[in-house]
Structures are given as structure tokens and as C-alpha cells.
Amino acid sequence: MGTPYATFFIPANPTSLNDSWTAYLLALFAGLIYAMGAILGKRGLELGSGQLRTVILSNLILSLCFLPHLFIAPGWPDINELATGACLGSIFLLSQVLLFRALQAGDASMVSPLMGIKSVLVAAFLVVFGLSSQPITAETWLAALLAAVAVALIGWPSKTGQTNWKGIGLAILSAASFSLLDSLVPHFSHQSNPIRMLFCIFGSLGVLTLLLVPWAEHPIFRRSLPCDRWAWSSGSLIALQAVLMSMAVACYRIPTEVNIVYSTRGFWTVLLVAWAGAHLGLHEGNLARSTKLRRVLGSLLLGIGILLIA
């Protein structure tokens, strides 16, 4: 019943060129969708949608997206898979909370590009834990270095402004947490079944997220206020991009390269803020031209990194 779906997402050779391009496309579309979700989420936070409430809404939508995986994957999860999924789901929950706190503290066009440091951290975690199935090439390390330089350009404050250390710090912590997750998921996914492991991770995420409901700032499923429309739209888009990115990471054993492609979300976010930020009413829509140009330059460096590993 589920064979065609599973066959499409689980490559016969996860390191071959053709299979790699599938992973890159998944990451590229995930980056674009994330940029739209981050901007809408930032607007919702500015209107008072509630940071924890937005996290809960996004996570519950995401968990529902992975519910069918239980019936698609062959066999049922055993206790070890459920325990591993719970641990990885906990890391994802922490990462999401840090991400939305960063969006609340800083500009979306600053936070999203800063998350590009994931490519550096994933490569580092793979080496530290000995989880890489193949040597990380010099081109990949150079691309990761370019991502680090881009982070410096994007986070640099304007002449009249101050460095938003809180937003930068939360974004980097979120990136580190997501990086740890992305370095571990391919390893554990291919010890069992990637589709089944994704169900365990995001099923656990849904259960853990329900524990946060009593602390939500507003009713989770409320749709009556203007900020609710932004929260629902952002939550749905963030969930969709997480589905695509999770497939790219779990089913293809090239997490560093996938994250470099995913770093384009910073470029998309900067462009979307410059194009539609003021129209959407975002405070950052009125940033100084020099700040916008610097963030574009940093995002372009990430693009060069993508070409190096393509």
C-alpha cells in the first residue's frame, strides 16, 4: 500500500549524484517556504500572537503531517525506536522554542540568515561523533566557512543601531540545537527505517508539545483576532518546510550539504523583507539600505557555498 511513497523518499544509494539532487531540491524548497513562514510568524509576534502558542501550533500541525508514516512504513516501531524518537523529538522541540524566541527578539531578516551557521555546526558534529558515512570534502568545508563569514555580515549592526546580542545568541543556540538533531537523524534513521523513525520523532514531538499547552499565552486554536491569521499561516508553513527538510536529512546521508542548500532561507528572507516587509507592516521593513545590502551580501556568500557542493 505504501511502497511507492517509501521508495520515492528512501534512495537506493543515498550518496549518488541523482539522489543528492533530490535532497538538494527538498532543502531548497524548504528554505523558501521557511522564509515565508518566518516573516509571517514575525508579523504575528509583533501583533501579539504569542511566542509559545505559535510554537505549539506549528509543532501540532507538523506532527499530524507525519501521522500517516506509521502506516506507510513496513512494520511497527519497537521500544528502542520509540525511545530514540522521543530523545530526538525533545531536541527538535527545544530548537523550535529557541527559534521563535529568536524571531521575537530580532529581525526575521537577521535571524534566518544566521541560522545558516547550521552547515558549519552539522559538519563539526559529524566529525566529533564520527557519524559521517564518507569524508567531508574540502569544498564542503569551504562552503561551511563561507556560511560563517556570511553570519558575521548579516549580524553586523547599522551605524545608528546596536548589536542585537540576544537575537543573535538565541538564533545561534537554535542553529546549534537543530544541527545536533540533523547530525543524529541520518545515523539513527538508517539503523532502522527512515520513514518509521520520522514518525517516532515527530509523534513524540506532538506528545511533548501537548505538555506545553497550559503555558500558552492564548487559546491555541483561536482564529478571531488579526494576529491569529498570521500565527496559523506561519505555523502551517514552518510545519511544511520541516516535513521537506526532515525527509532530506533522514533519507539522504548528506546532512552537511543539505544544510548548506537550506541556508538559502536567509537569502529568501532578506529578499522578501526588502520586497514586502513594509507592506506587511513589519518593523524591519524600514531598515537602513546599508543593513539590507549587507544582509544580501551575506546571503549571496551562502549561495556561493551551494555552488561549491552542487
- Segment 199-224 shows an average pLDDT of 93
Across the chain, mean pLDDT equals 83
DSSP 242-299: HHHHHHHHHHSS-HHHHHHHHTHHHHHHHHHHHHHHHHHT-GGGG--HHHHHHHHHHH
The HSE-up count of residue 190 (CA atoms within 13 Å, CB side) is: 22
Phi, psi of 160 (to 5 degrees): -95, -5
Total residue length of the chain: 310
Q: How far is CA 138 from CA 15, 135, 215, in A?
A: 17, 9, 46
Q: Distance of alpha carbon 198 from its chain centroid, rounded?
A: 15
**Residue 85 — very low, low, confident or very high, per pLDDT cuts 50/70/90?**
very high
Residues 6+ apart with CB under 8 A from 191: none
In the chain, % helix, strand, coil (3-state, to 5) comes to 80, 0, 20
**Does the structure show a pLDDT above 60 at 17?**
no
- pLDDT score of 263 more than 90: no
| pLDDT tens for each residue of 41-76 | 988 998 999 999 999 999 999 999 998 888 887 888
Residue 159 reports pLDDT greater than 70: no
Name residues whose C-beta falls within 8 Å of residue 4's C-beta, 6 or more positions apart in sequence: none
* pLDDT confidence tier of residue 308, bands split at 50, 70 and 90: confident
Write down the pTM of the prediction: 0.83
How far is Cα 44 from Cα 50, in angstroms, rounded to an integer? 8
**Of 25, 30, 31, 33, nearest in space to 8 by CA:** 25
